[in-house]
Amino acid sequence: MFDDLKDKNILVVGASRGIGWQLAITLGSLGAKVHVAARNVEALNLLQKQFDCSVYQCDIDKDEDVQSLAASINELDGVCIVSGVVKLIPPKMLSKKMIDAQVITNLASPLNIVGALLRKNKLNDGASIVFTSAAGRLCQPPCTAAYAGAKLGLHGAARSLAIDLSPKKIRVNTVSFDYVETDMIKAVQTTTVDIIGVAPVEYSSIPYLFMLSKMSRWISGQMLAADAGRMLGKVRYV
């Protein structure tokens, strides 16, 4: 179905575990030329043993790492930024330090990556950029003000970038998940009354593959929700 991704140079940021790890493996199985980046280079080296991929150690919150990545990587046909962090913060505990920790990783750093790649002319005409958002940006589970605000801002940024980059036919979209069976979600320890259930991580690659492929070549500035219907507002978090 996604045969056109064969031999395409695609960067997966946040590939050391969870959704990013699964996405990198799936892209590799499709014959893409996969570039993986994350802080945990040991995990990336384990990934490299499973299939042929290029490894870059990069803490996205460190500008020097981002600039080094942009300078050393090949020209790209696709970028998937999967890195993110979520921490439940009761309203009375909100502080600039705790807010910054959510906003920097979930909003500022992904935008910094795109800016660095553009300055180095590393995004080919017709490339696809895919950000990762979350259902929490609209359905507001408890204690996620900073996280939801950052993810909502990321979708707004994607829409703006889609306009700015349209002359080069570079598409910018957002994939928005609810709970996926990853270590990060298990650590949150929030229970839900759900419609469909928690998604297995094995299925999490499909929205990215669609947004990267020519099948979505007329789609830009949009959000694709894989959220078990959570953003319909008919589901409560407890």
First CA to last CA distance, the chain: 39
> Per-residue confidence at 195, pLDDT binned at 50, 70, 90?
low
Report the SS3 class of residue 224: strand
Angle at 69 between CA 132 and CA 208, to 5 degrees: 25
Mean pLDDT taken over the chain: 87
- Taking the domain 3-232, which CATH number applies? 3.40.50.720
**Residues 6+ positions from 14 with CB-CB distance below 8 Å:** 20, 37, 38, 60, 81, 82, 83, 84, 132
Considering the chain, what percentage of its residues have pLDDT values greater than 70?
Answer: 82
Tell me the pLDDT tens digit for each residue of 61-113. 999 999 999 999 999 999 999 988 877 888 899 999 999 999 999 999 999 99
> Per-residue confidence at 24, pLDDT binned at 50, 70, 90?
very high
Q: What is the pLDDT of residue 228?
A: 60
Domain boundaries in the chain? 3-232
pTM: 0.87
Q: What is the mean predicted confidence (pLDDT) over 196-208?
A: 73
